Structure 1
Amino acid sequence: MLSAALLLVVSLTLAWANGSNDVSKGVAALAGSGIATPRAAWLLGVLATLAGGLGAISWGGALGALFGGGVLKSAEGLPLGAALAALAGAAGFVALSTWQRWPVSTTHALIGGIIGAAAAQFGIRDVAYRVVAAKFLIPLLASPALAIGLCWTLLLLNRLVESRLPQWTPGCCAPEDHRKDPFICAAPDRRPSPAARRVWLALHWLSGGAVSFARGLNDVPKMAALMIPALAAWPAAETTASGPALAIALTSFAMTGGALMAGRRLLPVLAQEVSTMTPTTGLFANLGTAFLVLGATPLGLPVSTTHVAAGSIIGVRVADKAPPRARDALRTILLAWLVTLPAAAAFSAILVVLGA
């Protein structure tokens, strides 16, 4: 019972760390383009992520089953102690990354934790590497490349849209006001109706909310999957019967707590230090992210929302042919992508060895 309680606590800690590290990724384009203030964008991300997490009770079963087992040749899933080490290794690395302002992937950290714990518990040869590569690594590696390509394609449409929008001219208005509402510089007879302008702004808010909703829908089942053994060990039969739904609900609320307490720490990194965004480039970056993540979740494809969102923002930068800057977060993001999985695997393996 003590091990089950520890597993439950560590699962919730990982969800808290995920919320603190990931909430800004869904609304970075919204804040970076100037459509919303950082505070408003952050609050939208918190609420939409919670809604997506709770929505995973109905739509996240495929991902929950995927992360619940299948990485071992001789066993169905990790025993309680190894699952505890896997979660603790992932949670420790994500929390450290948030403190260092590294936008890392909780999905990568969780997979690394599972592999490291499995290898330390059963031996390297007992890990089903082909299964891990086919079901986990290939979708994860493909997702940022797809995001960059899709966002770059969408930006071709963006250029057509921007060419038809009123351009800023000196003395017309403040540049930041034009970024929020380009129609402010149009001649009175060329301005769209107030309703059309409200729809234009609403599209940006909806796109940011869609990305955050997709993140909750995709991330929560992955973390909840390893919590289910702890709930199954609880003596109340009714708790066992409702284990998956209860695990998803608890994970969603823990993620929301992390987002509220520390979620704004990483927002400036993705909103300002990767690419300079206009309202239309921010809109298309969000649309690309939401399309890929919402499409992958019902199929049980464990794409990394972090990689997809960052990939879309990088797609903006590639399309704009922006050169590196002195304070460039892109190097940090790419380095974090490379380090996350092996670092989390090492953390969890050490915990298994120490607990043996």
Structure 2
Amino acid sequence: MPLPPSSLRKQALDKDLKKIVALEAVSHQGGLRLLPLGLSLVFLVLVWVLADWSTTAGTGVVVAAAVIGGYMALNIGANDVANNMAPAVGARALSMGGALLVAAIFEAGGALIAGADVVSTVSKGIIDPAAVGDRGTFVALMMAALLGAALWLNLATWLEAPVSTTHSIVGGVLGAGLAAAGMQAANWPVLGAIAASWVVSPMLGGIGAALMLVLLDQLILQADDRVAAARRWVPVVVAITAAAFAAYLIQKGLSKVWKPPLWVLLALVGGVFAATLGTVSRLVARQAPRLENTKKAVGTLFTAPLIVAAALLSFAHGANDVANAIGPLAAVVAAMQGVAGAKVAVPGWIMLIGAAGISVGLALFGPRMIRMVGEKITRLNPVRAFCVALSAAVTVLIASALGLPVSSTHIAVGAVFGVGLAREWHAHRGGHIRRQARLNRAARAAAAQEQAEDAADGWLPGLAPDPSEDPAVLRKAAKRRLVRRRHLLAIAAAWLITVPLSALIGALIFLVMVRLVPGL
């Protein structure tokens, strides 16, 4: 029976309404995707205004360089800063919003308080200004390096590849420098030291995180009374974290206004350690009676230390990697003021651009990379994530204190892989597998007893063999991989192409700039 015309009109109207709703949903999603882009453009306009207001020498060139530096800072926040908060988010210790807030505060603090020492290495140590020639060539070199590195980072972030911003800017400076003045312009000893740090830093981060995980596993997680062990050792771990942060802040952050002698420094750090130890001991003691004697329950005690360690890592990253955005910019400003070959102080407005750009980039574009590093390489819980964050933070802090522009990406990702490989090593020893087998046998024994009681006449057949007791199954389980190798290979490939590709882009941009603007 055919439908009446009114029913046909109603069906057609319903279809049209569904299409309109779907179109509105797509438009809304598209608008949300365009919102970060619009806000980033607003930030770059503000950078333009700030640079124009803050400089008088070579205003046009400085403003252009400042906008490029702000663009680079946005990309650092989007790609590199995500590694700092990824462990805390992956372990569910922080929500995404909380992680973004903590990172923004401490990244900006590290950049503004302790970032200047590393800036001189990036802007003056890779390419010798005296070998470049005239001022215009040097300025074009630094601007090309910044833009080339920023473009590669933008592409890598879009591809969800956690690459090194330090690799990017070093490659950009090197490529543009070679295009400008040939092989003699590069400071090869400095580049050799930086290249060595790229190999050493992920190894140090991974080894430190793995050893820390093994230590905490033996001291707390494998103890018969895990709660008592946690009451004894968690305050010590938190106190060590607080003492490390205090030592760096006093040595580097306050060095411009106060340089205490060694005994005063040790006394202050010791005071921070003692105060933290006492405070955390009371907090843990208050929480301990409500905890079960399980790894998961005891692991919740590491939530607060993990947040502290993640904040420490963000501070360290802000101090170390802000140089990647503002180092070449500081060199351009110095060159336009006629002091390109001398070591000059970094103006406050340049530091502000770097600090704000990193924070804004993280807030607008960082969540995707946070999920990548925190969830897709290996499974993290508060204990493992704490080991990752603290090991990476200490390594980056040491590098920043030495003025060595290491890759925080290499360190953080190396620490994540170190924790995952430590988990595999523990599984290969069979400890986890044997414990699971014992639990399976206990469950089977309880089930067998229950079935025996229900089958008193004895006709019930025996239970099937427990596969967890089969030696072949145990060997196969022992070889299981708790680290996703495909991510390791993809990340390693991205690391390998970053320097040559950013160098190539920087060189091409430099050649285009000097051809289009010969009087720069």
TM-score bin (small chain): 0.7 to 0.9
SS for the counterpart of 2:508 is: helix
Cα offset, 1:51, TM superposition: 1.6
Q: Which residue in 1 is equivalent to 2:117?
A: 62
Q: Which residue in 2 is equivalent to 1:154?
A: 212
Deviates more, 1:43-52 or 1:258-267: 43-52
Q: Which residue in 2 is equivalent to 1:129?
A: 188
Point out the structure with max Rg over C-alpha: 2
Q: Which residue in 1 is equivalent to 2:200?
A: 142
Q: Which runs of 4+ in 1 moved over 6 A?
A: 181-184, 324-327
Matches within 5 A, 1:1-356: 1=58, 2-56=60-114, 60-72=115-127, 75=130, 79-134=138-193, 136-160=194-218, 161-164=220-223, 165=226, 186=292, 200-232=302-334, 243-321=346-424, 323=481, 328-356=486-514
SS for the counterpart of 2:347 is: helix
Say if 1:6 and 1:346 are closer, same or farther in 2 by CA, change over 3 A.
same
Cα offset, 1:47, TM superposition: 2.1
Cα offset, 1:281, TM superposition: 0.9
Gaps of 5+ in 2: 1-57, 228-286, 338-343, 425-479, 515-520
Contact kept, 8 Å, 1:23 with 1:46, in 2: the verdict is no
Instruction: List per-residue Cα deviations over 1:231-275 (Å, max 9, x = no partner).
Output: 34778xxxxx86433321211111111111111121111011111
Cα offset, 1:123, TM superposition: 1.3
Letter in 2 for 1:82: L
SS for the counterpart of 2:322 is: helix
Q: What is the TM-score normalised by the length of structure 1?
A: 0.84
Deviates more, 1:224-233 or 1:342-351: 224-233
Distance of 1:107 and 1:186 partners within structure 2: 45
Cα offset, 1:223, TM superposition: 2.3
Q: Which residue in 1 is equivalent to 2:282?
A: none
Distance of 1:246 and 1:76 partners within structure 2: 29
Say if 1:282 and 1:146 are closer, same or farther in 2 by CA, change over 3 A.
same
Instruction: List per-residue Cα deviations over 1:260-294 (Å, max 9, x = no partner).
Output: 11111211110111111121111111110111111
Instruction: List per-residue Cα deviations over 1:293-351 (Å, max 9, x = no partner).
Output: 11211211111111111110010111112627779422221111111111100100111
SS for the counterpart of 1:276 is: coil
Q: Percent identity?
A: 27
Instruction: List per-residue Cα deviations over 1:115-168 (Å, max 9, x = no partner).
Output: 00000111134323233112x2112221011111111111111212222337xx
User: Higher relative contact order at CA 8 Å, sep ≥6: structure 1 or structure 2?
Assistant: 1
Number of paired residues? 327
Q: CA RMSD in A?
A: 2.7
Cα offset, 1:73, TM superposition: 5.5
Q: What is the TM-score normalised by the length of structure 2?
A: 0.58
Letter in 1 for 2:124: G
Letter in 2 for 1:207: A
Cα offset, 1:94, TM superposition: 0.5
Letter in 2 for 1:203: P
Q: Which residue in 1 is equivalent to 2:278?
A: none
Letter in 2 for 1:128: N
Contact kept, 8 Å, 1:8 with 1:230, in 2: the verdict is no
